């Protein structure tokens, strides 16, 4: 599974953090990194555990997460 976070779009886990909240596998965590706008980005811990439920992709207000099956 490829889980991509579009860092330029993400508005940060401080005001948002929805991805962290909804992933049933708890795959999103605080990366500690800031993007250009100063937002703290999430990161993925273990993409292989992903069950492709797409909850993260749907819940993201910035459409900043894509979940893609690796085969592509």
Q: Which residues bind ligand SF4 (CB under 6 A)?
A: 3, 5, 10-13, 16-19, 22-25, 27, 42, 50-56, 60-62, 64-65, 67
* Residue 72 touches which member of another protein, ligand SF4, none, C-beta under 5-8 Å by kind: another protein
- From CA 15, how far away is CA 64, in angstroms rounded? 15
Question: Among candidates 1, 8, 7, which has minimal Cα distance to 27?
Answer: 1
Task: Considering only CA atoms, give the Rg of the chain.
Answer: 11
* Residue 23 touches which member of another protein, ligand SF4, none, C-beta under 5-8 Å by kind: ligand SF4
30 binds another protein per the rule CB under 8 A: no
């Amino acid at each position: 599974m490829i889980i991509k976070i579009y860092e330029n779009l993400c508005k940060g886990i401080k005001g948002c953090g929805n991805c962290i909240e909804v992933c049933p596998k708890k795959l999103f965590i605080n990366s500690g990194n800031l993007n250009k706008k100063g937002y703290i980005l999430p990161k993925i811990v273990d993409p292989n555990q992903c069950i492709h439920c797409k909850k993260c992709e749907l819940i993201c207000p910035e459409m900043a997460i894509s979940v893609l099956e690796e085969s592509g």
